[in-house]
Amino acid sequence: MSLRTAIPASLRIGAMTAVAASLLLTACVSTTQSTATSENVAAKKIPAKVSAGTSLTVGAPDLKVALELSGQIDKLPFKVKWANISGGPQCSEAFRADALDICSSAEIPSINAHWTGLDTKLVAAKFRKDPIAYPIYELGIAPGTHIKTLADLRGKKIAYSPGQAQGALVLRILKKAGLTQQDVDLVELASTGDVYPTALGNRQVDAAPIADVNIKRYLTKYGRDGGTTIKHGLRDDPGHLWALTDSVSNAQKSAAIRELIKFWARAQIWIDDHPKQWIDGYYVKDQGLSHEDGEYLAERSGHPDFPADWTDAIERQQQTVDLLAKEQKHKAFDAGILFDRRYEHVAADAVAGERKTP
């Protein structure tokens, strides 16, 4: 069985954003580029106060909305230029262009950045309480494929985006099922917009990880034809603030990043405590979703968790590094170098007095 399948032409037609994302993802996982030097910044002291004239360019559109809705945005003690980008491919390109200091992302982009010579640090970590009960992704199953369990993926076509969290999740699912890449047909396809649900509905792939409102929409549109989803039973909840190492190496920017982390963490608690305001202000007014879709997303998101000790998070990141290194032919490395542990306690300390028991 072939290890890779080309993206079907019918999926490429009219999907320029997916094509562009594919190019970015290819850059993210190229094995021809040198790895990052991973500067050790642990000994660099972060100033106790940040200068009001310090400026950060931040790629976290949802954070901007949360700070506006909670009345906190004007309390930031430094200047912020908000960039309307987030996620691995966009942030990586902005980092390389020196057009971004920090952004929100999952765990995979920082790994691929290291393998492609981009020196970055994870400066904040957020997970979900009870992550198995509140997964980000479910495995979408195309109509007529007769996939009931993960073991049934043998011999099936699975959508695969090697430079994104979805790609790593696919590899983890295969490992859990006792399968290898040679046991399935991986269809390389960037996960943007509704590309994966469309590919499932058109039966151009048999399975694909889908998230958020795409799960609801897929089941609504294709459920009558036999489309379904299955739970993968794995943790898929890492969320980070991800910064350029040059930015955390700069004294005043490092202080601004510390303050930003505090506002970010408190904003997540505010979102959790004010679902109605978040649904109306973000999902409906900012994202253009229906109120029903917003309620669905709020219910699926669970409750945030900010560990004051990153040891377990780094261990899980190491497992991901080792898996991707093996499956994508990269050199394994110490995942700890990706984390700037000077910020380890910042988020947890910021919300210690505000956290409510769900």
Among all chains, which residue has been given the structure tokens 């958020």?
A: 212
| CA–CA dist 14, 355 (Å, integer) | 45
For 29-36, what is the mean pLDDT? 54
Percent of the chain scoring above 90 in pLDDT: 84
Average pLDDT over residues 255-270: 98
Mean pLDDT of 119-123: 98
Its pTM surpasses 0.85: yes
C-alpha pair distances (Å), 96 with each of 37, 59, 92, 116, 308: 15, 14, 6, 11, 30
CA distance 8 to 4: 12
pLDDT in tens, 140-185: 999 999 999 999 999 999 999 988 899 999 999 999 999 999 999 9
Q: What is the mean pLDDT of the chain?
A: 91
In this predicted structure, which of 155-164, 255-264, 303-312 has the lowest mean pLDDT?
A: 155-164
> What structural domains does the chain harbor?
4-21+135-230 (3.40.190.10), 33-129+237-351 (3.40.190.10)
Residue 4, pLDDT score = 56
Distance CA 138, CA 208 (A): 8
The DSSP-derived string for 22-81 is HHHHHHHH-TTSPPP-----TTSPPPSS--TT-EEEEE-HHHHHHHHHTT-GGG-SSEEE
Helix axes 88-96 and 16-29, enclosed angle (nearest 10): 60
Per the CB < 8 A criterion, the answer to whether 11 and 199 are in contact is yes
The distance between the two most distant Cα atoms of the chain, rounded to a whole number of Å, is 60
